[in-house]
Amino acid sequence: MSFPEERPRRLRRTPLLRSLVRETRLRPSQLVRPLFVSDAIKERREVRAMPGVFQETQDSLLAEARASVEAGISTLILFGIPASKDAQGSGAWAPAGVIQKALRRLRSELGGDVLLIADNCLDEYTDHGHCGVLDEQGEIDNDATLELYARAAVSQAEAGAEIIAPSGMMDGQVEAIRTALDDNGFPEVAILAYAAKFASCFYGPFREAAECAPRFGDRRSYQMDPGNRREAMREIELDLEEGADMVMVKPGLPYLDVVLEARQRVEHPLGVFSVSGEYAMIRAAAAAGGLELRSAVLESHLAMRRAGADFILTYFARELAGWLREEA
């Protein structure tokens, strides 16, 4: 009988020992909360596949943002749903558009207590539901779309966004937005690029929440093929060359290999978006009695940090902040 010389279990013996040697930690300040604000509703409405997530009115948004800040989640990313849509998505840059109104109100009511990120895309605003405008053949017109993203970014910055997050996956979008921000007096506004965004079925519930399912076709001509990791590195590199301050991988859990490799290559801050389908999946499994909610959420978010994400965009942000405080 020989006995082991190496005994890793020595350091797993008690909670204090385990905590001392834990390599990865999760803090509320590393979480970003997505919020939906709609000008098409009179009362806040729960998203069917996402229990606990709502489309907010301008009023309920403010209440939620306040509650969020009090719970320790001060960074918010806003998605707007306009009262009416058109082919160009003109609601995205309207001075009194849904997102502009929301940004102004949160900025004036909450001041420096919140950090406001504006998602920059057209799909919530176009009547066809695509992330870009269409040419005569009905194809996405990449370069015409860039001008509209730039216009939307400037109006988001004017309304108080401190970070613009382009999510449409058009080529050149970061450069177009950077140039427009600089030319219009917003050199201090940062860009968080959805750099490696995959064409994922896990966005399903978001399309209900943001009312942006494409009316025809799909997003595979602009979002990335799920099989491509090298291409993800190239997308990240390009966005950094174009002037992104931070980059993001999306979705989260099924793409942690991409997060890990990005972390190894990139010195810039790296985020991961744990998307609507990930939220729905954990919620549904917990509701069915198959998973314990709190443990599943804590473990999966720790895994995203362990893979290398500096921060996580997650619909669990507010609940998670409460649990993290109890753990501390």
Residues that bind ligand PBG (CB under 6 A): 119, 121, 123, 131, 167, 203, 206-207, 219, 275-276
Rank residues 154 and 281 by Cβ distance to ligand PBG and give the closer one: 281
Is there a catalytic annotation at residue 42? no
Min CB(324)–ligand PBG separation in Å: 21
Min CB(126)–ligand PBG separation in Å: 11
Rank residues 30 and 276 by Cβ distance to ligand PBG and give the closer one: 276
Min CB(49)–ligand PBG separation in Å: 10
Rank residues 156 and 276 by Cβ distance to ligand PBG and give the closer one: 276
Task: Print the SS3 string covering the chain.
Answer: CCCCCCCHHHHHCCHHHHHHHCCCCCCHHHEEEEEEEECCCCCCEEECCEEEEEEECHHHHHHHHHHHHHCCCCEEEEEEECCCCECCCHHHCCCCCHHHHHHHHHHHHHHHHCEEEEEECCCCCECCCCCCCECCCCCECHHHHHHHHHHHHHHHHHCCCCEEEECCCCCCHHHHHHHHHHHCCCCCCEEEEEEEEECCHHHHHHHHHCCCCCCCCCCCCCCECCCCCHHHHHHHHHHHHCCCCEEEEECCHHHHHHHHHHHHHCCCCEEEEECHHHHHHHHHHHHCCCCCHHHHHHHHHHHHHHHCCCEEEECCHHHHHHHHHHHC
Is there a catalytic annotation at residue 197? yes
Point out the catalytic residue in the list 42, 85, 101, 250: 250
Min CB(165)–ligand PBG separation in Å: 8
Point out the catalytic residue in the list 42, 85, 101, 197: 197
Min CB(121)–ligand PBG separation in Å: 3
Rank residues 110 and 284 by Cβ distance to ligand PBG and give the closer one: 284
Rank residues 123 and 175 by Cβ distance to ligand PBG and give the closer one: 123
| Residues noted as catalytic | 197, 250
